[in-house]
Amino acid sequence: MRSLSQRVRALKPSATVAVNAKALELRRKGVDLVALTAGEPDFDTPEHVKEAARRALAQGKTKYAPPAGIPELREALAEKFRRENGLEVTPEETLVTVGGKQALFNLFQALLDPGDEVILLRPYWVSYPEMVRLAGGVPVEVETLPEEGFVPDPERVKRAITGRTKVLVVNSPNNPTGAVYPEEVLKALAELALEHDFYLVSDEIYEHLIYEGVHFSPGRVAPEHTLTVNGAAKAFAMTGWRIGYACGPKAVIRAMADISSQSTTSPDTIAQWAALEALTNLEASRAFVEMAREAYRRRRDLLLEGLHRIGLRAVRPSGAFYVLMDTSPLAADEVKAAERLLQAGVAVVPGTDFAAFGHVRLSYATGEENLRKALERFARVLEARPQ
């Protein structure tokens, strides 16, 4: 049998997608399970966005789109980046992609030569190191610490810079820690990109889900060195529509579009018209985002208070919809802890593939009733553990 490529043999499939699939399968079999695994809003896409998709269909907008996206959406993106992020970009400096994931995938393909180093802040989102390796790059890990609220220390990042450093990835609000990086930290990291001439990739997909603090786009400090990645998935409950976007230096954006032209051709045309509505019907979209944010905030507080009451530790997240819970009171490591919790009827994601050892990720993008049930089950697992 001819073998698969070395590249693919080294590839780890997404742990979060796998755990979520397992939880759904158990539930289909009738197991009473609370799933805290989802990386997506539990809300449905808002009605005004769905209506725009129906309109696009009725108008026959069913053909291929340009690889970088429909011009109307690119114009709306330039306006969004200016209005919400303080980034002065033209439509040509923006790109629409098949989810934020394709924007990241294409930019690593566009930027990395074999052996180029990419600094990742640990714990990191599971897909970064795999995307970097698929592009021939070498992930270099710099840790962020629970006692520092998982906020990166620019000095520690500086020590990891070498002559081969090509990219630093920052993700605020963060998956899986929920940390929102302060402006001065993001500015210091952008200054490093300028000083050492590498690219900063700023993954801002959870931008609208902040409960304390404010969002800052480091592209304001280093516009020629920053690629800002975002998407419709988390803000507008549009995960299945697969619309992401990015902005950055024109040459890189053009290269990313060329990669799309030879792989996916373009993002889904109907979904692009729907995303345009989400980005331009400001009144309806703001009302939706505000409603979702308030719901997540209540759920976060409920979950955190519940965890602390039963003696489980977690750093208070200020954004996104995840809590990284310390598993030391539950089991010897995070995989065993996740197994014990699954047996007790709660599915969580072990921190292993996020390089969040000794932790599991809990998603609170689920109803309050589910969170209460999960807390009761956690308490039972703790009581059953021999001291």
Residue number with CB closer to ligand PLP (152 or 345): 152
Nearest distance in Å: CB 387, ligand PLP: 37
CB 115 to ligand PLP: min, Å: 25
Tell which phi-psi region holds residue 90, choosing left (phi > 0), alpha (psi between -120 and 50) or beta. Answer: beta
Minimum Å distance from CB 124 to ligand PLP?
A: 9
Q: Which is nearer to ligand PLP, 168 or 233 (CB)?
A: 233
Q: Among residues 20 and 269, whose Cβ is nearest to ligand PLP?
A: 20
> Which tokens hold the place of 328?
């030391």
- The residues facing 171 across adjacent strands are 203
Q: Which residues bind ligand PLP (CB under 6 A)?
A: 39, 99-101, 125, 171, 175, 203, 205, 231, 233, 239, 244
Exposure string (b/e) for 271-281, b if CB count within 10 Å is 16 or more?
A: bbbbbbbbbbb
Minimum separation from the CB atom of position 340 to ligand PLP (A): 26
Helix (H) or strand (E) holding 138: strand 138-143
Q: How far is the CB of 312 from ligand PLP (least distance, A)?
A: 23
**CB nearer ligand PLP, residue 35 or residue 344:** 35
Q: How far is the CB of 159 from ligand PLP (least distance, A)?
A: 25
Q: Which amino acid is at 23?
A: A
The full length of the chain comes to: 387
Q: How far is the CB of 231 from ligand PLP (least distance, A)?
A: 3
Residue nearest to ligand PLP (CB): 99
Which CB sits closer to ligand PLP, 171 or 285? 171
Query: Which of 121, 188 has the CB closer to ligand PLP?
Result: 121
Nearer to ligand PLP, 200 or 312 (CB): 200
- Minimal CA–CA distance to 12: which of 173, 128, 100, 142? 128
Q: What span, in angstroms and rounded, lies between the C-alpha atoms of 18 and 311?
A: 29
Tokens found for residue 282: 């400001």
C-alpha count within 13 angstroms, C-beta hemisphere, residue 119: 29
Helix/strand/coil for 139:
strand
Q: To 10 degrees, the CA torsion angle through 316, 317, 321, 322?
A: -70
